[in-house]
Structures are given as structure tokens and as C-alpha cells.
Structure 1
Amino acid sequence: MSTSSNECHITIGIDDGMFLKGKSKWTVLVGVLFVGLKLEKIAMERVEVDGLNGTLVAWKILNRLEVKPGATVFLDGITYAGFNFIDPVELSEKSFSHVIAVFRRRPNEERILRALKLHFLDWEIRWKIISKVSTGINEMNVRGRKLYYYSYPNSYEAKMKIRKTAVTSKIPEPLRLADALAKEVGKFLITHL
């Protein structure tokens, strides 16, 4: 019996939990690993709100999930836990994975830059990553709805991978599940800690 490439391809979704602005010092980053469309593993790590450790924390999650080279990692944008960030290029180069940052809406660069300058002395560090990604964002339709994405390495396979894993909405299933889990864990942390 043969298996399709979708059934055996490793995909990971990474998303952050909710937090209280001005009160929470950290939230959770959740990673889920799928083989084809089957959930295999879940990993969680703490990520600093408005910190600079997002890429490192995502790398730790990939290590805990025992991700092998060649996997596809879906990110929910690149900003996490406020204005912390995951650098898709650095994460791809460290993990030897194809990293695809998915955006429900095209990021508003002017608004982001204004917020960074207003709230962060180190805004240039954050803006360097955000602007690099912003210039490489592509648009596509998934299930009749617009979706934006940044792919590193830039790959013609990105659209295909998004479409194959977006089975219930325009969002790839690993990312949709990571989002749902992260929201619930974040809510729990806010109300119980």
C-alpha cells in the first residue's frame, strides 16, 4: 500500500497563548507536530512577553518535538507574546526546516513601526526582522479566502503545503490546533497563576 506525500509529511504549527497586557511577564508558546493530518506530539515552553527570545523558544519546541530536517513549520505571523518575535530565516537555518509564516491579514507596516518606536528602545532590532519578512509576503486564496504568507526558503511548494494542510479552514491544521491549545493554556495560566 502506498502513501501519499501528505500522509507522511511532517508539519509543525507554533502559536502563543493569551496574556494580560501590562501584567503578564510571560505566556506559553505551543508547538504541535503532525504526521500527515494526524497529531503526533505537543510541546510547550514559556516565552517572554515583549521579549527577544521567541526564536530561541521556538527552537526549543522543535527540539522537544524531535523535528528532523525537511519538516515544514507553520508560524502564526512572526510576532508572539506582544512584540516578541520568531525570525523565520534563523529558525529555518537552525532546524533545516521549511518555515512558513501565515498571516490572516496583510501586516500594516506603518502601524507596526509606529508602535515599536513608541514602546521599545530596541525597536530597530525588532523592526529589522519584521521589515525583512514584510517585503517577502505573498498572497493566495485558500478555500475561497485570502491568506498571506512568508516562506523561507522561498519555495514554490509553500502554496501546495498550505492548501494540503488547510482542511477545515484557510489556516493549516497544525497551526489551527496550536492556536486553539495555546489560547486555552493561556487562559488557564491567567486565571490560575
Structure 2
Amino acid sequence: MSVNKVKAPAILGVEDGRIPPKGITYALLAGVLLKKFKIKDLRLTLIQVDGLDATLKLLEMVAPIKSKIDMIMLGGVSFAGFNLIDPVAIHEELKVPIIVISKDKPNNEEVYRALVKHFNDWTARWSVFEKLSRTSKIYEVVSNPKERPIYVEVVGISAEEASSIIRSVTIWGRLPEPIRAANLVAKGLSSLFLSEAKLRDFKTLQIDE
């Protein structure tokens, strides 16, 4: 079914918190479920800085609420440095459309050079970008006529439908509300978790409506 045919789809926005200071190896990942501009659910978990666990952590984080989610918007592909969320894998597992939102046009050549330079396992990381580029072009979308465009990649949904939904849920600035809300939550709560003691005790937090 087309997501546009779902009355007020429930959209999960996913963003990461601040990169922690040296010596702390985990960062916060937030998922905020919005419907009719109201927060219906909030999920938090930790992912490893420059790790390989973000895709699995996201799936674990949303497992209890996956039946409530009509769509996921990701604030990019790279989280906590170069810990990558695989949009194609998320779509295949959850069977919902995925929209990747970027403020700046992605430069895969630059990403490739950085991965090769800094990671011995760069091929595994690069495969996420390769899969996404085979699945979707990079689309320029004017989410707010008063603002510069954003850049969008899509999995399981057409670019036209994704653009329509993005415009319908963008109020302030360029970012759609699910991403904006997730970013505010992740950045705002990061300082609460940036101590080794708290991080050791922290597993996953969920706040239902």
C-alpha cells in the first residue's frame, strides 16, 4: 500500500547524539515516532563510535514497536562517526519504506577515500553505500520553499511519494519533523549519558505514549 494512502502515517525519525570525548566509545542513537506531529514513542540506545553495530542496534531498538511504524526517516547513513545504518537491510527486515535525509549532497567518492584511509574493514562499510547507490539515486528535494533543498535517497518508496511526504511533515527549517525531533532528543540527552558509569549501566530506554 502507498504510504500516502495511510492517513497520518507514523514516521520514525532516527538521529545520533554528540560524538563523545576521547575515552568514551559509545554514542546515543534516538528514534522518535511521530504521528500528526505528536510524539507517540521514544526509543534510545547506544552505538559504538566508528563501530559496526548501528544496523543491528536500530533493529533491536524498534522491535517492540515495529507494528506501529509506517516509515523510517534516517538522518543520513553514518552515525557516531562511521558506524553505518544499512537502509536496504532495514527495509528488508521491517518491510517499511526508508528515506535517507541529508542536509548536504552526499559525496560517495569522498566517503570511499575516508573509509580506505581509516578502516581495515572498509570493504564491509563501503558495501552499505554501494547497496544504497544501486537502489536509489540522490534526489534534491525542496522541503520548505523558504529554505535550501535537502538531499534524499529512498528504499521501498518512489522519490515522488517520498518528496510529498517530506513536504507534508516539514514545518521549521529544512528538516522534516521526525528527523528534527530525533536530532533534538539525541543531542539534548547526550550529555546525560557521557560518563563511563552511566554508559556502563545504560542498555535501552523506551518511553511509550
How does 1:84-163 map onto structure 2 within 5 Å?
A: 84-134=83-133, 136-144=137-145, 145-155=148-158, 156-163=160-167
1:160–1:190 distance in 2 versus 1, CA, 3 Å = same
Q: Is 1:23 matched with 2:26?
A: no
Report the TM-score when normalising by structure 2: 0.83
Q: Does the residue aligned with 1:124 lie in a helix, a strand or coil?
A: helix
Q: Separation in 2 of the partners of 1:30 and 1:70? A: 15
Q: CA deviation at 1:174?
A: 1.0
Where does residue 187 of structure 1 map in the other structure? 191
1:37 equivalent in structure 2: 37
CA 1:192–1:54: 2 relative to 1, 3 Å: closer
Question: Any idea what SS the aligned residue of 1:59 has?
Answer: helix
- Which runs of no fewer than 5 residues in structure 2 stay unpaired? 198-209
C-alpha root-mean-square deviation of aligned residues, in Å? 2.1
Structure 1 residue ranges without an equivalent (≥5): none
Task: Tell me how far apart the structure 1 counterparts of residues 6 and 32 of structure 2 sit (CA, whole Å).
Answer: 16
Distance 1:91 1:38 in 2: 24
Offset, 1:187:
2.3
Length, aligned pairs only = 189
Q: Distance in 2 between matches of 1:29 and 1:92?
A: 18
1:59 and 1:25 map into 2 onto residues whose CA distance is 20
SS across alignment from 1:20: coil
- Relative to the length of structure 1, the TM-score reads 0.89
Measure the CA separation in 2 of the matches of 1:46 and 1:23: 15
Offset, 1:132: 3.2
Residue 184 of structure 1, CA deviation: 1.5
For residues 16-69 of structure 1, what are the alpha-carbon distances to aligned partners after superposition, in whole Å with 9 as ceiling and x for unaligned? 1112364321111100111221111101011111111111111122224x1227
Whichever residue aligns with residue 16 of structure 1, its letter is D
Q: Distance in 1 between matches of 2:123 and 2:23?
A: 24
The amino acid across from 1:127 in the alignment is: W
Asked if 1 retains the 8 angstrom alpha-carbon contact of 2:33 and 2:69, the reply is no
Alpha-carbon shift at residue 104 of structure 1 (Å): 0.3
SS of alignment partner, residue 173 of structure 2: coil
- Closer, same or farther: CA 78–119 of 1 in aligned 2, 3 Å: same
Q: What percent identity do the matched residue pairs reach? A: 30
